[in-house]
Amino acid sequence: MKGGGGLVYAIVAALLTCALPLHGNPENDPKILQVTENYHPDHHYNNHLLGTAAELKFINFMQEYGKEYSTRAEYLHRLGIFAKNLIRAAEHQALDPTAVHGVTQFSDVSEDEFERMYMGVKGGGSAAAWENEAVATAEMEVGDLPESFDWRWRGAVTEVKMQGTCGSCWAFSTTGAIEGANFIATGKLLNLSEQQLVDCDHSCDAKEKTACDDGCSGGLMTNAYKYLINAGGIEEETSYPYTGKKGECKFRSEKVAVKVANFTTIPVNEDQIAAYLVHHGPLAVGLNAVFMQTYIGGVSCPLICGKKWLNHGVLLVGYGSRGFSILRLGYKPYWIIKNSWGKRWGENGYYHLCKGHGMCGMNTMVSAVMTQTS
C-alpha cells in the first residue's frame, strides 16, 4: 500500500467472474439444472403461490422476456424463485431508495444461482493486497473538470453488448476500454473481439498467480491487456465474432485491428478517476454487482454494498451531476457505467451508481489502456 494522494491499491485479485444473464429456457443449461435440482427438490411446495398476485406478475414477466418452462415442475420452481426475488427487490428498494428495483430478466434466477455463477470461483472473493506492476501515473488536476461528462456524446462508446451465459464480463470491460482509447487516438469506433480474449487469453496476475484469465469462468482486465500486448493486438468483432462459449483460439495476427501499447491503474480517489476519465477515455472498472440483479433504473446508492467483493467487470463512460430519481431523493452525482447484459437491462444497458462514496468498490479496480498508433 502506498500512502499519500489516494495512491492506495488494495485490490481484490480474485477473478471477476461476472453475472450471467439468462434468457430462454434455463433448463437447457445443465449447470443450472443441477443447481436447481439440488436446491429445491420439492417444487410442489410452491402450489400456494398459484392464483396469487405473484403468479400474475410472473406470467407478465414470462411474456415480457419470452420465458418458457418445459415442465409444470420447472414452472412452479421458477415461480417460487420469482416470488422470493420480488421480496428481494423490495429489500433492495429499501436499502437503495434512490434507484428503482424490481422485476428484471434475472427475476427467475435465485440469488444462489446468480452468485454461484458469477462470484469468485477461483479466488473465492478473498481480498488480497495487490499492486499492479504498471504503476499509476502522476496525479491529475481535478479543478477544471466539467460538471457532467459522457464519452457517448463524443462517439467513443460502442452499442451495449450481451455477454450471455458466459462469465466473460472482464473481456467486455477490456474491449470497451480499448474501443474508447482507439477512438480517441484515431477517430474510428470499432467493435473489438471479446471472443479472442475468451478463447486465447490465459494470462495470470503478477502477484496473485492463480488469478488467470479463463474464458467463461472469469478473468481480469489487467491480465487481458498483458495478453494483448504480447499477442500483438486485438481483432475486430466481425473478424472474430462472439459465440459466448470458450473455444479453440483462432486468433490471426494479420487480422489485428488495434495494438495495445500499455496500461495503467488509476488511484482510488474518485476525483482522480473523473480526471482520468475525461482526459484519457472510458475506463475499465471492477465492482460488486449484488444490487444489479434487481436494478431497473435511477441512481443506485445502496446504504450497504460490500467494497471488497468485486465480481463484475464493466466500463466507466461518464458521470452526471444530478441523477434523476422517482423518489426525489436522488439528486446526487453519479457514474455512468456500461454493462454487458444487453440494452433491455437497467438504463438502456447502463448502470447509474452514486459518485463519491467508493460505492460497491467501484474505485478500487480501475484501469486505463493505451493503444499503439503507427
Ligand X SMILES: *[C@@H]1O[C@H](CO)[C@@H](O)[C@H](O)[C@H]1NC(C)=O
The pairing of strands 283-287 and 312-320 is: antiparallel
The sign of the CA dihedral 193, 16, 295, 326 is negative
The DSSP bridge partners found for residue 87 are none
Closest to ligand X by CB, 242 or 251: 242
Residue 283 Cβ, how far from ligand X at the closest point, in Å? 15
Cα angle 103, 107, 109 (rounded to 5 degrees) comes to: 170
Closest Cα to residue 227, out of 369, 101, 56?
369
Residues 313-332 contacting ligand X, CB under 6 A:
none
Residue 264 Cβ, how far from ligand X at the closest point, in Å? 5
Size of the site for ligand X (CB under 6 A): 10
Residue 3 Cβ, how far from ligand X at the closest point, in Å? 20
Closest to ligand X by CB, 42 or 159: 159
Closest to ligand X by CB, 36 or 265: 265
Residues 123-162 contacting ligand X, CB under 6 A:
134-135, 137, 158-159
Interaction pattern, residues 225-244, with ligand X; x per rule: CB under 6 A: --------------------
Residue 34 Cβ, how far from ligand X at the closest point, in Å? 33
**138 Cβ neighbours under 8 A, 6+ residues apart:** none
175 is a contact residue toward ligand X (CB under 6 A): no
Please give the single-letter amino acid code of residue 129: A
Rg of the chain (C-alpha set): 20
Residues marked as catalytic: 169, 312, 339
CB 193 within 8 A of CB 226: no
Closest to ligand X by CB, 261 or 329: 261
Closest to ligand X by CB, 75 or 227: 227
Closest to ligand X by CB, 135 or 327: 135
The values of phi and psi at residue 83, to 5°, are -65, -40
> Whole-angstrom Cα distance, residue 118 to residue 170?
11
Q: Is 6 helix (H, G, I), strand (E, B) or coil?
A: coil
Closest Cα to residue 276, out of 368, 202, 200?
368
Residues 254-293 contacting ligand X, CB under 6 A:
261-262, 264
Residue 213 Cβ, how far from ligand X at the closest point, in Å? 20
Residue 180 Cβ, how far from ligand X at the closest point, in Å? 12
Closest Cα to residue 121, out of 205, 16, 243?
16
Interaction pattern, residues 179-198, with ligand X; x per rule: CB under 6 A: ----------x-x-------
Let me know if 87 is exposed, middle or buried by CB neighbors in 10 A (0-12, 13-18, 19+).
Answer: exposed
- Which H helix or E strand runs over 96? none
Residues 56-115 contacting ligand X, CB under 6 A:
none
The values of phi and psi at residue 104, to 5°, are -130, 180
User: Site residues (CB under 6 A) for ligand X?
Assistant: 134-135, 137, 158-159, 189, 191, 261-262, 264
